[in-house]
Amino acid sequence: MLDLHEALSVNVEEDLLPLSVLLHQRGVAHRIFEESGRQVVVVQHAEQAQLVAALYRDWRAGKLRIELAGKAQRTPQESTLRWRSAPVTVALILLSIGGFLLIYLHAPMDWLAYLTFTPFQIVGGEPVFGNIDGQYWRLITPVFLHFGWLHIVFNSLWMWELGAKVERVVGLLNMALLFLVIALVSNASQFIFSGAGIFGGMSGVVYGLLGFSWVAPLFQPQWRIQPMPTLMLFMIGWLVVCMVGLVQVLGFGAIANAAHLGGLLCGCGLGAAFGLLSRLADDKG
């Protein structure tokens, strides 16, 4: 049986394609696969493992520049790996699509009322809201409700862009915990601000992940998930535009601004906590 030697173990988010091309050019046979949320590079000989580690360090330090001829295409295996590396994010997107379809396909009103923050019944053509009365799933489920094509498309795209990166550095269980806390805070913020009503969408969670992605790397530099400043400027600018009411004036409908702001602040706090704890764990190790 062929004895393989581990040369590298890095975050699954890292793009190792340039390094792989360089190793092929130098005749270093290798394989890259996922294991426990990490990308692992293995080679046939121990001395090759040392060479790969040295090339990786030089490449990341900027001492070695790797030029790719033409535009590299991702293999189906690489694309599958990216999806499989963020199962919680994928599940949340699918649940959001399910919530959108309930509304788009005009599902029975009782189904919708089962997912809102507070239960309601239609009396005389108007919704009459009740109390949660121990139905604690309602603290979370409004995030899956989406009321239009733009709503679900943009939230799903941002959820994948931000959520997948976060999940790959914090892991599946921590990602699930982040989602639950941010969803709870954003939904509760909207309820406290506007009272009983029908609101929903993953936007509060998206803003929470945005705040997490910005703050966490300040405490844990190994987490290379910080959004570009232009993206932060756009997202914060959009939040301000929504909060001053300009979006409603233009006819885009009501916006759950409190959910957005509550999610953002919650994500920033969680980013500081998670990043600091990870940094302290690294220092002790």
Overall pTM surpassing 0.85 (yes/no): no
Q: Would residue 146 show up in a list of annotated catalytic residues for this protein?
A: no
Within the chain, residue ranges assigned H as helices are 17-25, 46-60, 76-84, 87-104, 109-113, 149-158, 164-170, 172-194, 203-219, 229-243, 246-249, 257-284
- Which candidate in 85, 189, 203, 278 is catalytic? 203
Question: Domain 86-284, what fold?
Answer: Rhomboid-like fold (1.20.1540)
Q: Would residue 260 show up in a list of annotated catalytic residues for this protein?
A: yes
Of the candidate ranges 49-58, 111-120, 138-147, 178-187, the one whose mean pLDDT is the lowest: 49-58
Domain range summary for the chain, segments of one domain joined by +? 5-76, 86-284
Q: Which of 61-75, 152-166, 234-248 has the highest mean predicted lDDT (pLDDT)? A: 152-166
Domain at 5-76, CATH class:
alpha beta
- Which candidate in 30, 146, 151, 260 is catalytic? 260
Using CA atoms, how far residue 183 sits from 151, 260, 263, in Å, is 17, 10, 7
- pLDDT, tens digit, 9 for 90 and up, residues 50-67: 888 888 888 887 777 776
- pLDDT, tens digit, 9 for 90 and up, residues 204-260: 999 999 999 999 999 998 888 898 888 888 889 888 888 887 666 555 556 788 999
CA–CA gap between residue 199 and residue 153 (Å, rounded): 17
